[in-house]
Structure 1
Amino acid sequence: MELKWTDSLDIAIELDELHPDIDPIHVNFVDLRNMVLALAGFDDDPVHSGEKILEAIQMAWIEERE
């Protein structure tokens, strides 16, 4: 599955599975962006990651964790 920046829930699920030891509340946006870019299924322009997109991914990850 190819992931795009707008696939915040799918990205959150992938991140939760790959990083069960990381608390998403404490991840800064630089690290979060790098984690998303490192996902095997991620295929989108790195330039298109903005604060709102990263915040949506982080919030989805927090909700997925709960």
Structure 2
Amino acid sequence: MKWTDVQEIAMALTDKHSGIDPQYVRFTDLHRWVTELEGFDDDPNRSSEKILEAIQLAWIEDAAE
């Protein structure tokens, strides 16, 4: 997974952190959790607030389903 795989990352976060409400996750925690996902293989420094926001929004949508 790369930072641009927003939907795939969101689904993986839903599976791994099912008891967490993604709406209240701080970007510092989100960044760490994404980089710790199995299969994540991208430079941790390539993320941005915009990318993290997109992942968080996709995670909120995925968790609501």
Q: Normalising by the residue count of structure 1, what TM-score does the alignment of the two structures yield? A: 0.95
Which 4+ runs in 1 deviate beyond 6 A?
none
CA separation in 1, counterparts of 2:39 and 2:59? 17
* Counterpart residue identity of residue 35, structure 1: W
- Give the percent of matched residue pairs that are identical in Structure 1 and Structure 2: 56
Structure 2: 5+ residue runs without aligned partners? none
Q: Normalising by the residue count of structure 2, what TM-score does the alignment of the two structures yield? A: 0.96
Superposed CA RMSD: 0.4
> How many aligned positions are there?
64
CA separation in 1, counterparts of 2:31 and 2:46? 11
Per the TM alignment, residue 9 of structure 1 is displaced from its structure 2 partner at its CA by: 0.5
Structure 1: 5+ residue runs without aligned partners? none
